[in-house]
Amino acid sequence: ATPTSIMVGTGRAAESGILFKGGEHLERTHQLEAIVLDKTGTITKGKPEVTDFTGDEEALQLLASAEKGSEHPLAEAIVAHATEKDLAFLDVDDFTAIPGHGIVAQIAGKQILVGNRKLMLDHQIEIEGAEEVLVGYETSGKTAMLVAIEGTYRGIVAVADTIKETAPEAIKQLKELGIDVVMLTGDNERTAQAVAKQVGIDQVIAQVLPEEKADKVKEIQSQGKKVAMVGDGVNDAPALVTADIGIAIGTGTEVAIEAADVTILGGELLLLPKAISISHATIRNIR
Ligand code: ADP
Ligand code: MG
């Protein structure tokens, strides 16, 4: 590989907002066979909004107050919703985030749980009657969270995140370049499938705990494939490091950007097929 053509290639990429940390990453991008995309913030805009809440106002006040301590995009959506409704936030005495499951908080002597089925199961909360409603939200691509106060189920809060407008086109172009496209998410299977369908992805790995994301990347590598991982969150950093190419999407966290080999500015997914095309054009010139 001539250093000059690599420099021209990374320069061209940089003009489009694709920042390679070094020329070797451009060469490795040329060999990619699979791309794993995180769902929230990568395929979707990462700005979810509350669409439904089945509980009463007291439950909403407690759950929103509890979520104030979380930096998760789902929590931000709930806090914004309660703020719009002019609900007062209560002081939180204790708060624990359980990655991939939800949160547990203590407010005014009451225990508040917000999260998925697993969180409720772990705390032995009866959620009978909730299942059908949950499935309804999930089938339409919403993320539904269960709320329990003092051990009693109190409702479901559903949140929807819109897909990036250019996601379907970007995924189509990646497939045309012969790349396997996989969605990876901690969200539940049904929600993930609904979102995947909207953007034209047919390989979905859902309900993956943050610490398991890197293992999923390794599994694809063990099939003999060169894999890129694209993500934005703190949780994605180990998977970005594990992948043959780690790609941080520009609106992402510092942690993700540091862990990545490539940064895509502004979160534009069309820059993914573009990066691959540039690598092909560059390597062609070298050989
Ligand atoms: P993602 O892959 O979309 O970033 P996460 O692994 O962060 O998903 O979360 C997986 C699931 O855990 C969420 O879909 C939600 O059900 C639950 N969860 C995580 N954080 C919270 C929170 N702050 N409040 C309620 N539920 C949460
Ligand atoms: Mg995420």
pLDDT digits (tens, 9 = 90+) for 221-234: 999 999 999 998 77
Report the nearest-CA residue for atom 20 of ligand 1: 102
Residue 170's φ and ψ, nearest 5 degrees, are -60, -40
| 3-class SS string, 165-227 | CCHHHHHHHHHHCCCEEEEECCCCHHHHHHHHHHHCCCEEECCCCHHHHHHHHHHHHCCCCCE
* Ligand 1 cavity residues, CB under 6 Å: 39-40, 67, 70, 72, 74-75, 100-103, 114-116, 143, 145, 185-187, 210, 233, 235
What pLDDT score does 87 carry? 95
| Distances 177 to 35, 226, 251, 278 between C-alpha atoms, Å | 11, 14, 25, 12
What pLDDT score does 285 carry? 64
Specify the range with the lowest mean pLDDT, choosing from 68-77, 179-188, 212-221, 276-285.
276-285
- Read off the pLDDT band of 235 (50, 70, 90): confident
Measure the CA–CA gap between 252 and 267, rounded to whole angstroms.
8
Mean pLDDT within 46-59? 96
Mean pLDDT within 15-32? 93
C-alpha 38 to ligand 2 mean position (Å): 6
Best CA proximity match to 53, nearest among 187, 132, 144: 144
Per-residue burial over 16-52, b if 16 or more Cβ lie within 10 Å, else e, is ebbbbeebebbbbbbebebbbbbbbbbbbbbebebbe
pLDDT digits (tens, 9 = 90+) for 54-86: 999 999 999 999 999 998 889 999 999 999 999
C-alpha 235 to ligand 2 mean position (Å): 6
Using the predicted structure, report yes or no on whether residue 241 has a pLDDT greater than 80: yes
Mean pLDDT within 18-22? 93
Mean pLDDT within 98-114? 96
Q: What is the dihedral of CA 98, 104, 105, 110, to 10 degrees?
A: -170
pLDDT digits (tens, 9 = 90+) for 121-146: 999 999 988 999 999 999 999 999 99
